[in-house]
Chain A
Amino acid sequence: MSIDFPGSTSEEGGRTILGNWASGLAPKSTFPGECTLSKQVAAAGSPQGAERKIHSAYDDPGTPEEISRRSFMANATLAIGGIVGLGLVIPIVGSLLPEGASSKGTWSPLTADELKSLQEATSKPVKLEFQLKSKDSYLPEQSNGEYVWGIKTNKQTFDSARTDLPTSGELPFSDGTYDVINMNFVILSPICPHLGCRPVWNDSATRFQCPCHGSQFAFSGEHVAGPAPRGMDPLPLREQSGLAQIMWIRYESGVPNRVIISYQS
């Protein structure tokens, strides 16, 4: 608690800021008490006014007993502040911990039209629009329009292009693992693996180009230029009683590995 204070005007040339002051050892000349007292006397209507000097409580260092009592009171006051502060910091920090993400993905059906456009796809990726149900904190469940890219390919072409994907062609997700290629289709997430913008397909360049930082991806979603750390992320596709269904997954951006962070948009 004892810290030298070189800027002091005290005759002693140095004193402590909190320690001695708190316990009442500080020398007389270092306190503005006199001034305060003069004001008070003036306010009380003293005939002598500001000229009259009154003994300030801070002029008298007090008995050793008083000094040790003050030292205790100073420390106790600081301790009380600390305890109350801690009592508030704990619930505040606890409340700020994020809500857990839902750990189970949901399958969203593609409409017959969207499925048809996927089946008729050629050498261009197809933008597939669908309704994604999502639950955002306390808000009621909502259905929002979302889209993914669908490409028509075959295992040989795709595997040779996407060397960043496992050779087994399977990725893990909440229901187990999914085949990246299903029925000769691959569904690609529209989210750029760099920092989460949305690359757009450029017909003349035959590239996905990200408008934010210029990452480029070829037809199969392989990373060919720009800062993205990995290729575009494949999403699960399945056939269920004649309907094509896809699952929306958000992967962590900016890292080379695919880490699932959420099944919400």
Chain B
Amino acid sequence: MFELFNYEFMQRALAAGLLVAVICPLIGTFVVMRRLSMIGDTLSHASLAGIAAGMLGGLYPLWSALIFSLAAAIGIEKLRKHFPQYAELSISIVLSASIGLAVVLISLANSFNADLMSYLFGSIIAVNALDIYIILGLSIIILVSVGLFYKEFFYMAFDEEGAELAGMPVSSLNMYFTVLTAMTIVVSMRVVGMMMVSSLMVVPVACSLLISKSFKNTIFLSVFFALISVVIGLFSSYWFDLAPGGSIVLTSVFILIAVIIVKRIFRMQ
């Protein structure tokens, strides 16, 4: 059963997948509770523009994706100040701009090649050593940051005005959190692909919200569900020759459906 891990590419795939399974729902829980679920899609589209730009300019795509994603994250925060009552409006504006830019850059590159496709739909088994180092480095930054600012991010998610009144530097922390979200997107793109990255931030969180007993519990359960999704998704993709990114996301959706059904059964009893 475990002979597939004799292959180095599968070891790298599993390592990348497990890291992503930890950081995606970790950031995703705060994102969902702040009702900013669309931010994942927006930043992943900005990353796509970054990848296209990287391919055009000969830069390593994950770096250019990170730069574009961070620029989009900062743009969202700046716009949010102009529309304080409509947080989602700034996200929609940056989403539109990112799609437009991505399409223009891809057309300039005059190609829609296999490499670009691997970023669109994920290519976990093609993760190379450099990818692993980048994923590991960014994951450590994300984990340490959430560890340090957990109580701040929690307060801002629960009651942003209250956090501000408590003397918290809410604007700076908002910016930092959005930057962490951008990093999470870039890290996850290689694994599940740009089209599905936000689902790994949202679906495991949705599962845990159905049964969690506290905020911390929500985070741990989300990570647990994401880890199961990655492992089952990766194994099934190997055995049944399926796309790994899609298998991981579909597994997480099946888990969500299972949790809903089990919860309903328990309620009926």
Chains A and B are bound partners: no
